[in-house]
Amino acid sequence: MRIYVLPCDGIGPEIIDASMGVLEAVNNKHNLGLTFDFDEIGFVSLKKYGTTLRDEVLEKARSYNGIILGTSSHMDYPPPEKGGRNPSAAFRVGLELYANVRPARSRAFLNKGARNMDLVIMREATEGFYPDRNMHKGWAELMPTPGMALSIRKITDHACERIARRSFELAMKRRKKVTAVHKANVFHVTDGLFLQEVRKVAKDFPDVELNEVIVDAMAAHLVRDPSRFDVIVATNFYGDILSDLASELSGSLGLAGSMMASDIACCAQAQHGSAPDIEGQDRANPTSMMLSVAMLLQWLADHHQAARFGKAASEIDAAVDRVLADPASRTRDLGGNLGCKTFGERVAAAVSSA
Protein backbone atom coordinates (compact mmCIF):
# COMPACT_ATOMS: atom_id res chain seq x y z
CA MET A 1 0.00 0.00 0.00
CA ARG A 2 1.15 3.52 -0.82
CA ILE A 3 1.27 6.29 1.78
CA TYR A 4 1.60 10.00 0.95
CA VAL A 5 3.64 11.91 3.55
CA LEU A 6 3.42 15.71 3.84
CA PRO A 7 5.53 17.09 6.75
CA CYS A 8 4.38 20.76 6.45
CA ASP A 9 5.32 23.44 9.04
CA GLY A 10 6.73 23.99 12.53
CA ILE A 11 7.30 20.75 14.42
CA GLY A 12 5.54 18.78 11.67
CA PRO A 13 8.75 17.47 10.06
CA GLU A 14 10.16 16.44 13.47
CA ILE A 15 7.13 14.54 14.74
CA ILE A 16 6.61 12.90 11.35
CA ASP A 17 10.26 11.83 11.22
CA ALA A 18 9.94 10.23 14.67
CA SER A 19 6.68 8.55 13.68
CA MET A 20 8.08 7.25 10.41
CA GLY A 21 10.70 5.33 12.38
CA VAL A 22 7.90 3.64 14.33
CA LEU A 23 5.92 3.00 11.16
CA GLU A 24 8.95 1.46 9.46
CA ALA A 25 9.39 -0.82 12.49
CA VAL A 26 5.87 -2.28 12.19
CA ASN A 27 6.14 -2.29 8.40
CA ASN A 28 9.20 -4.53 8.57
CA LYS A 29 7.93 -6.64 11.45
CA HIS A 30 4.55 -7.48 9.90
CA ASN A 31 5.45 -7.31 6.20
CA LEU A 32 2.83 -4.66 5.61
CA GLY A 33 4.25 -3.75 2.23
CA LEU A 34 3.93 -0.02 2.84
CA THR A 35 5.76 2.38 0.53
CA PHE A 36 6.13 6.11 1.13
CA ASP A 37 6.22 9.16 -1.10
CA PHE A 38 7.03 12.59 0.35
CA ASP A 39 5.94 15.98 -0.93
CA GLU A 40 6.13 19.67 0.00
CA ILE A 41 3.32 21.77 1.44
CA GLY A 42 3.19 24.73 3.82
CA PHE A 43 5.84 27.44 3.93
CA VAL A 44 8.33 25.34 1.96
CA SER A 45 5.80 25.07 -0.85
CA LEU A 46 4.88 28.76 -0.59
CA LYS A 47 8.50 29.79 -1.11
CA LYS A 48 9.04 27.34 -3.97
CA TYR A 49 5.69 27.43 -5.79
CA GLY A 50 3.88 30.54 -4.53
CA THR A 51 1.21 28.56 -2.69
CA THR A 52 1.11 26.51 0.52
CA LEU A 53 -0.84 23.76 -1.25
CA ARG A 54 -0.72 23.04 -4.97
CA ASP A 55 -3.82 21.63 -6.62
CA GLU A 56 -1.76 18.73 -7.97
CA VAL A 57 -0.82 17.66 -4.42
CA LEU A 58 -4.47 17.41 -3.43
CA GLU A 59 -5.31 15.54 -6.63
CA LYS A 60 -2.31 13.24 -6.24
CA ALA A 61 -3.42 12.38 -2.70
CA ARG A 62 -6.52 10.69 -4.09
CA SER A 63 -4.39 7.92 -5.60
CA TYR A 64 -2.86 6.84 -2.27
CA ASN A 65 -4.12 4.32 0.26
CA GLY A 66 -3.39 6.68 3.13
CA ILE A 67 -2.07 10.15 3.91
CA ILE A 68 0.13 11.42 6.74
CA LEU A 69 -0.29 15.17 7.13
CA GLY A 70 1.98 17.34 9.26
CA THR A 71 1.07 20.39 11.29
CA SER A 72 0.44 23.70 9.51
CA SER A 73 1.10 27.27 10.67
CA HIS A 74 -1.87 28.55 8.69
CA MET A 75 -2.47 31.48 11.06
CA ASP A 76 0.81 32.90 9.77
CA TYR A 77 0.06 32.28 6.09
CA PRO A 78 -0.68 35.17 3.74
CA PRO A 79 -4.31 35.58 2.57
CA PRO A 80 -5.63 32.80 0.31
CA GLU A 81 -5.47 35.05 -2.74
CA LYS A 82 -1.73 35.39 -2.10
CA GLY A 83 -1.12 31.66 -1.78
CA GLY A 84 -1.95 31.04 1.87
CA ARG A 85 -4.16 27.97 1.59
CA ASN A 86 -4.99 26.01 4.77
CA PRO A 87 -3.91 22.41 4.03
CA SER A 88 -6.12 20.82 6.71
CA ALA A 89 -9.25 22.53 5.45
CA ALA A 90 -8.37 21.84 1.83
CA PHE A 91 -7.90 18.11 2.50
CA ARG A 92 -11.07 17.85 4.57
CA VAL A 93 -13.25 19.53 1.98
CA GLY A 94 -11.41 18.42 -1.17
CA LEU A 95 -11.28 14.73 -0.19
CA GLU A 96 -14.54 14.76 1.79
CA LEU A 97 -12.72 13.79 5.00
CA TYR A 98 -15.81 14.58 7.02
CA ALA A 99 -15.10 12.51 10.15
CA ASN A 100 -12.42 13.94 12.40
CA VAL A 101 -12.00 11.14 14.93
CA ARG A 102 -10.32 12.20 18.19
CA PRO A 103 -9.91 9.67 21.02
CA ALA A 104 -8.91 10.71 24.52
CA ARG A 105 -8.05 8.37 27.37
CA SER A 106 -6.37 8.65 30.73
CA ARG A 107 -3.24 6.74 31.66
CA ALA A 108 -3.05 5.93 35.36
CA PHE A 109 0.75 5.66 35.33
CA LEU A 110 1.08 9.33 34.33
CA ASN A 111 -0.65 10.42 37.55
CA LYS A 112 -1.83 13.47 35.64
CA GLY A 113 -5.14 14.76 34.33
CA ALA A 114 -8.48 12.94 34.46
CA ARG A 115 -9.10 9.44 35.79
CA ASN A 116 -10.95 6.60 34.07
CA MET A 117 -11.49 8.51 30.83
CA ASP A 118 -11.88 6.57 27.58
CA LEU A 119 -13.90 8.45 25.00
CA VAL A 120 -13.92 9.35 21.32
CA ILE A 121 -15.04 12.70 19.92
CA MET A 122 -16.53 12.47 16.43
CA ARG A 123 -16.18 15.93 14.93
CA GLU A 124 -17.87 16.85 11.66
CA ALA A 125 -15.07 18.54 9.69
CA THR A 126 -16.40 19.90 6.39
CA GLU A 127 -18.75 22.72 7.42
CA GLY A 128 -19.92 24.63 10.52
CA PHE A 129 -18.46 27.93 11.75
CA TYR A 130 -15.38 27.65 9.54
CA PRO A 131 -15.27 30.35 6.85
CA ASP A 132 -12.64 28.52 4.80
CA ARG A 133 -14.81 25.47 4.15
CA ASN A 134 -18.49 26.33 4.04
CA MET A 135 -18.82 28.19 0.74
CA HIS A 136 -18.55 26.82 -2.79
CA LYS A 137 -16.68 29.99 -3.71
CA GLY A 138 -15.42 32.81 -1.55
CA TRP A 139 -14.99 33.28 2.16
CA ALA A 140 -17.76 33.03 4.76
CA GLU A 141 -16.70 36.04 6.81
CA LEU A 142 -17.68 39.51 5.71
CA MET A 143 -17.22 43.13 6.78
CA PRO A 144 -20.12 45.03 5.16
CA THR A 145 -19.15 48.28 6.89
CA PRO A 146 -16.16 49.35 9.01
CA GLY A 147 -16.59 48.16 12.56
CA MET A 148 -19.09 45.44 11.64
CA ALA A 149 -18.15 41.82 10.89
CA LEU A 150 -20.32 38.84 9.98
CA SER A 151 -19.53 35.12 9.98
CA ILE A 152 -21.78 32.59 8.28
CA ARG A 153 -22.36 29.11 9.67
CA LYS A 154 -23.43 26.28 7.38
CA ILE A 155 -25.10 23.11 8.69
CA THR A 156 -26.58 20.51 6.32
CA ASP A 157 -28.72 17.48 7.01
CA HIS A 158 -26.41 15.36 4.85
CA ALA A 159 -23.26 16.17 6.83
CA CYS A 160 -25.04 15.78 10.17
CA GLU A 161 -26.53 12.42 9.18
CA ARG A 162 -23.25 10.86 8.08
CA ILE A 163 -21.20 11.93 11.13
CA ALA A 164 -24.05 10.75 13.37
CA ARG A 165 -24.18 7.38 11.64
CA ARG A 166 -20.42 6.85 11.98
CA SER A 167 -20.75 7.76 15.67
CA PHE A 168 -23.47 5.20 16.36
CA GLU A 169 -21.57 2.56 14.42
CA LEU A 170 -18.52 3.24 16.57
CA ALA A 171 -20.57 3.16 19.76
CA MET A 172 -21.82 -0.31 18.84
CA LYS A 173 -18.18 -1.48 19.01
CA ARG A 174 -17.61 0.26 22.34
CA ARG A 175 -19.95 0.91 25.28
CA LYS A 176 -23.07 1.74 23.27
CA LYS A 177 -23.46 5.34 24.39
CA VAL A 178 -23.61 8.44 22.19
CA THR A 179 -23.68 12.01 23.48
CA ALA A 180 -24.80 14.69 21.01
CA VAL A 181 -23.37 18.12 21.85
CA HIS A 182 -25.34 21.19 20.78
CA LYS A 183 -26.55 24.70 21.63
CA ALA A 184 -30.06 24.33 20.27
CA ASN A 185 -31.40 26.52 23.05
CA VAL A 186 -29.79 29.44 21.16
CA PHE A 187 -29.10 28.15 17.64
CA HIS A 188 -32.64 26.89 17.12
CA VAL A 189 -32.34 26.29 13.39
CA THR A 190 -28.76 25.12 12.84
CA ASP A 191 -28.25 23.05 15.99
CA GLY A 192 -31.90 22.07 15.75
CA LEU A 193 -31.16 20.53 12.34
CA PHE A 194 -28.12 18.73 13.78
CA LEU A 195 -30.21 17.21 16.59
CA GLN A 196 -32.97 16.27 14.17
CA GLU A 197 -30.55 14.20 12.10
CA VAL A 198 -28.89 12.61 15.13
CA ARG A 199 -32.29 11.54 16.48
CA LYS A 200 -33.23 10.05 13.09
CA VAL A 201 -30.05 7.97 13.01
CA ALA A 202 -30.56 6.91 16.63
CA LYS A 203 -33.75 5.09 15.60
CA ASP A 204 -31.61 2.69 13.54
CA PHE A 205 -29.53 1.81 16.63
CA PRO A 206 -32.00 0.88 19.41
CA ASP A 207 -29.22 -0.71 21.47
CA VAL A 208 -27.32 2.57 21.75
CA GLU A 209 -28.22 5.08 24.45
CA LEU A 210 -28.46 8.67 23.17
CA ASN A 211 -27.96 11.68 25.42
CA GLU A 212 -28.07 15.34 24.40
CA VAL A 213 -25.94 17.90 26.25
CA ILE A 214 -25.59 21.66 25.73
CA VAL A 215 -21.99 22.52 24.81
CA ASP A 216 -21.16 24.75 27.80
CA ALA A 217 -22.50 22.13 30.21
CA MET A 218 -20.50 19.52 28.28
CA ALA A 219 -17.24 21.34 29.05
CA ALA A 220 -18.09 21.27 32.75
CA HIS A 221 -19.06 17.59 32.65
CA LEU A 222 -15.81 16.66 30.92
CA VAL A 223 -13.80 18.32 33.67
CA ARG A 224 -15.94 16.89 36.47
CA ASP A 225 -16.38 13.29 35.27
CA PRO A 226 -15.22 12.33 31.76
CA SER A 227 -15.65 8.63 32.59
CA ARG A 228 -19.40 8.94 31.94
CA PHE A 229 -18.86 9.52 28.21
CA ASP A 230 -18.24 7.03 25.42
CA VAL A 231 -18.74 8.46 21.91
CA ILE A 232 -19.37 12.21 21.59
CA VAL A 233 -20.70 13.61 18.32
CA ALA A 234 -20.56 17.31 17.55
CA THR A 235 -20.50 19.85 14.77
CA ASN A 236 -17.14 21.26 13.69
CA PHE A 237 -16.68 24.17 16.09
CA TYR A 238 -17.82 22.41 19.27
CA GLY A 239 -15.92 19.24 18.45
CA ASP A 240 -12.69 21.15 17.86
CA ILE A 241 -12.80 22.89 21.23
CA LEU A 242 -14.00 19.93 23.28
CA SER A 243 -11.44 17.55 21.81
CA ASP A 244 -8.59 19.83 22.87
CA LEU A 245 -10.07 19.97 26.37
CA ALA A 246 -10.42 16.18 26.53
CA SER A 247 -6.88 15.68 25.27
CA GLU A 248 -5.43 18.02 27.87
CA LEU A 249 -7.41 16.12 30.50
CA SER A 250 -5.67 12.96 29.28
CA GLY A 251 -2.34 14.46 30.37
CA SER A 252 -1.22 16.60 27.44
CA LEU A 253 -2.39 17.77 24.06
CA GLY A 254 0.70 15.98 22.81
CA LEU A 255 -1.01 12.65 23.58
CA ALA A 256 -3.97 13.29 21.28
CA GLY A 257 -4.23 11.01 18.28
CA SER A 258 -6.47 12.10 15.41
CA MET A 259 -7.53 10.97 11.98
CA MET A 260 -9.66 12.49 9.22
CA ALA A 261 -11.67 10.00 7.21
CA SER A 262 -14.26 9.67 4.51
CA ASP A 263 -15.88 6.42 3.45
CA ILE A 264 -12.97 5.73 1.07
CA ALA A 265 -9.96 7.73 2.31
CA CYS A 266 -8.08 8.37 5.54
CA CYS A 267 -5.50 10.90 6.69
CA ALA A 268 -3.45 10.80 9.90
CA GLN A 269 -2.77 14.19 11.45
CA ALA A 270 -1.70 15.14 14.96
CA GLN A 271 -4.44 16.96 16.82
CA HIS A 272 -2.26 19.82 18.01
CA GLY A 273 -0.79 22.77 16.13
CA SER A 274 2.61 23.48 14.62
CA ALA A 275 4.23 24.97 17.76
CA PRO A 276 6.66 27.24 15.86
CA ASP A 277 8.12 28.44 19.18
CA ILE A 278 9.85 25.06 19.63
CA GLU A 279 10.46 24.26 15.97
CA GLY A 280 13.83 22.63 15.32
CA GLN A 281 14.66 22.32 19.04
CA ASP A 282 13.95 18.57 19.43
CA ARG A 283 11.44 19.40 22.18
CA ALA A 284 8.18 18.22 20.59
CA ASN A 285 6.19 15.25 21.82
CA PRO A 286 5.56 13.02 18.76
CA THR A 287 3.04 10.79 20.55
CA SER A 288 0.02 12.44 18.93
CA MET A 289 1.43 11.82 15.46
CA MET A 290 2.37 8.23 16.32
CA LEU A 291 -1.10 7.46 17.63
CA SER A 292 -2.61 9.12 14.55
CA VAL A 293 -0.50 6.85 12.34
CA ALA A 294 -1.77 3.88 14.36
CA MET A 295 -5.34 5.05 13.71
CA LEU A 296 -4.58 5.15 9.99
CA LEU A 297 -3.31 1.58 10.14
CA GLN A 298 -6.46 0.48 11.96
CA TRP A 299 -8.60 2.22 9.33
CA LEU A 300 -6.69 0.35 6.61
CA ALA A 301 -7.23 -2.90 8.51
CA ASP A 302 -10.98 -2.29 8.72
CA HIS A 303 -11.43 -1.17 5.12
CA HIS A 304 -9.16 -3.73 3.46
CA GLN A 305 -9.83 -6.74 5.71
CA ALA A 306 -6.12 -6.82 6.58
CA ALA A 307 -5.78 -8.10 10.14
CA ARG A 308 -2.02 -7.57 10.26
CA PHE A 309 -2.56 -3.81 9.93
CA GLY A 310 -4.79 -3.89 12.99
CA LYS A 311 -2.15 -5.84 14.89
CA ALA A 312 0.47 -3.27 13.88
CA ALA A 313 -1.79 -0.44 15.08
CA SER A 314 -2.28 -2.14 18.46
CA GLU A 315 1.45 -2.68 18.82
CA ILE A 316 2.15 1.02 18.26
CA ASP A 317 -0.40 1.96 20.93
CA ALA A 318 1.10 -0.53 23.37
CA ALA A 319 4.68 0.52 22.61
CA VAL A 320 3.87 4.18 23.23
CA ASP A 321 2.38 3.30 26.62
CA ARG A 322 5.35 1.13 27.57
CA VAL A 323 7.76 3.97 26.84
CA LEU A 324 5.60 6.59 28.58
CA ALA A 325 5.30 4.38 31.67
CA ASP A 326 8.98 5.08 32.38
CA PRO A 327 9.31 8.63 33.80
CA ALA A 328 12.81 8.83 32.32
CA SER A 329 11.37 8.30 28.82
CA ARG A 330 8.96 11.24 28.74
CA THR A 331 9.09 14.46 26.80
CA ARG A 332 9.04 17.88 28.45
CA ASP A 333 5.28 18.40 28.29
CA LEU A 334 4.98 15.33 30.55
CA GLY A 335 7.69 16.39 32.99
CA GLY A 336 10.59 14.55 31.33
CA ASN A 337 13.67 15.62 29.42
CA LEU A 338 13.60 13.31 26.42
CA GLY A 339 13.81 14.84 22.95
CA CYS A 340 11.48 14.10 20.07
CA LYS A 341 14.03 12.03 18.16
CA THR A 342 15.09 9.85 21.10
CA PHE A 343 11.48 9.27 22.15
CA GLY A 344 10.72 8.08 18.64
CA GLU A 345 13.71 5.73 18.69
CA ARG A 346 12.56 4.21 21.98
CA VAL A 347 9.02 3.62 20.72
CA ALA A 348 10.39 2.05 17.52
CA ALA A 349 12.63 -0.22 19.61
CA ALA A 350 9.68 -1.17 21.82
CA VAL A 351 7.69 -2.14 18.73
CA SER A 352 10.52 -4.25 17.34
CA SER A 353 11.10 -6.06 20.61
CA ALA A 354 7.46 -6.81 21.41
In contact, 120 and 178? CB cutoff 8 Å: no
Catalytic residue among 9, 191, 230, 240: 240
Catalytic residue among 183, 191, 238, 317: 183
CATH superfamily label, 114-249: Isopropylmalate Dehydrogenase (3.40.718.10)
Please tell me if the domain spanning 1-101+253-354 has the same topology as the one spanning 114-249.
Answer: yes
| Mean pLDDT, all residues of the chain | 96
Q: What is the pLDDT of residue 185?
A: 96
Calpha distance 26→211 (Å, rounded):
39
Segment 88-109 shows an average pLDDT of: 95
Q: 8: Cβ–Cβ under 8 A, 6 or more apart, which residues?
A: 41, 42, 69, 70, 71, 72, 87, 274
Nearest to 30 by CA among 267, 349, 351, 289: 351
Nearest to 198 by CA among 155, 239, 154, 167: 167
Confidence of residue 135 (pLDDT cuts 50, 70, 90): confident
Q: What is the pLDDT of residue 136?
A: 78
Question: Looking at the predicted structure, is the pLDDT value of residue 138 above 80?
Answer: no
277, with CB counted inside 10 A (0-12, 13-18, 19+), is exposed
Calpha distance 230→246 (Å, rounded):
12
Return the CATH fold of 1-101+253-354. Answer: Isopropylmalate Dehydrogenase (3.40.718)
Confidence of residue 245 (pLDDT cuts 50, 70, 90): very high
Task: Indicate whether this model's pTM tops 0.75.
Answer: yes
Nearest to 166 by CA among 97, 115, 118: 97
Calpha distance 268→184 (Å, rounded):
32
Nearest to 261 by CA among 65, 17, 33, 39: 65
DSSP 79: P
92-96, 112-116, 188-192, 289-293: range with lowest mean pLDDT:
112-116
In contact, 117 and 255? CB cutoff 8 Å: no
Question: Looking at the predicted structure, is the pLDDT value of residue 163 above 80?
Answer: yes
In the chain, domain spans: 1-101+253-354, 114-249
**CB atoms closer than 10 angstroms to residue 68:** 25
Whether 204 sits among the annotated catalytic residues: the reply is no
**CB atoms closer than 10 angstroms to residue 313:** 22
Whether 157 sits among the annotated catalytic residues: the reply is no
**Centroid of chain to Cα 130:** 16
Q: What is the pLDDT of residue 133?
A: 79
Question: Looking at the predicted structure, is the pLDDT value of residue 60 above 80?
Answer: yes
**157-173 and 190-202 helices cross at what angle (nearest 10)?**
40
Catalytic residue among 157, 216, 302, 326: 216
Calpha distance 221→117 (Å, rounded):
12
Confidence of residue 130 (pLDDT cuts 50, 70, 90): confident
Quote the percentage of the chain above a pLDDT of 70.
Answer: 100
Whether 317 sits among the annotated catalytic residues: the reply is no
In contact, 249 and 117? CB cutoff 8 Å: yes
Segment 18-28 shows an average pLDDT of: 97
Question: Looking at the predicted structure, is the pLDDT value of residue 210 above 90?
Answer: yes
Whether 216 sits among the annotated catalytic residues: the reply is yes
Q: What is the pLDDT of residue 137?
A: 78
Question: Angle CA(258)–CA(100)–CA(226) in degrees, nearest 5?
Answer: 70
Whether 282 sits among the annotated catalytic residues: the reply is no
Calpha distance 243→249 (Å, rounded):
10
Confidence of residue 24 (pLDDT cuts 50, 70, 90): very high
Question: Looking at the predicted structure, is the pLDDT value of residue 97 above 80?
Answer: yes
Catalytic residue among 130, 230, 238, 317: 130
Q: What is the pLDDT of residue 111?
A: 87
Segment 155-171 shows an average pLDDT of: 98
